[in-house]
Amino acid sequence: MRALALLAPLALATLLGGCADSAGSIEPLQGSWTLANGSDADGAFIDPTRPVTLEVEGSEFSGNSPCNVYSGTIVARGGGIDLGEGIATTEQACADPEQQALEGRYYAALSDIERAERSSGELVLTGPGVELVFAAD
């Protein structure tokens, strides 16, 4: 019984450590995704007529936004992730100013992402005031 009492805190620390590692892992991001819902401090942003995609392979990501193609590198850092370092995009102007604004909000949201969780065919990326929910392709 005494051994069990001594092992319980160690087991709890191991479980909690595992949770922290998964939040900072790029493994959950792997695959092809389509944005199902996005929100930031200004509210929801998504246009079902212009799908936004995300493709993750290894530590590289790419996709299509409302008007452009984008790519970048995912960095696992301090128990979290960072997608915002050096997102590269094509520079096509959107014909529709609303689409241009949605695209800008999406790129800003990507830059703020700190955590990734994957469950039930969804990838949820979150950061301060930001949530991007992707459905598996």
pLDDT score at 10: 35
pLDDT score at 5: 39
Number of domain units in the chain: 1
Enclosing domain of residue 122: 2-136
φ/ψ of 39, rounded to 5, equals -145, 150
Show the low-confidence residues of the chain (pLDDT under 70): 1-24
Q: What is the Cα 33 distance to its own chain's centre?
A: 10
pLDDT score at 4: 37
- Rg from Cα positions in the chain: 18
pLDDT score at 19: 34
* Cβ neighbours of 94 (radius 10 Å): 17
pLDDT score at 20: 34
Distance set, CA 69 to CA 25, 27, 47, 63, 137 (Å): 25, 23, 16, 6, 18
First to last CA, the chain: 49
User: What pTM was computed for the model?
Assistant: 0.79
Q: What is the CATH number of the domain that holds 88?
A: 2.40.128.270
Q: What is the largest CA-CA distance in the chain?
A: 70
Per-residue pLDDT tens over the stretch 38-78: 999 999 998 888 999 999 999 999 999 999 999 999 998 88
Mean pLDDT value across the chain: 83
Report the residue count for the chain. 137
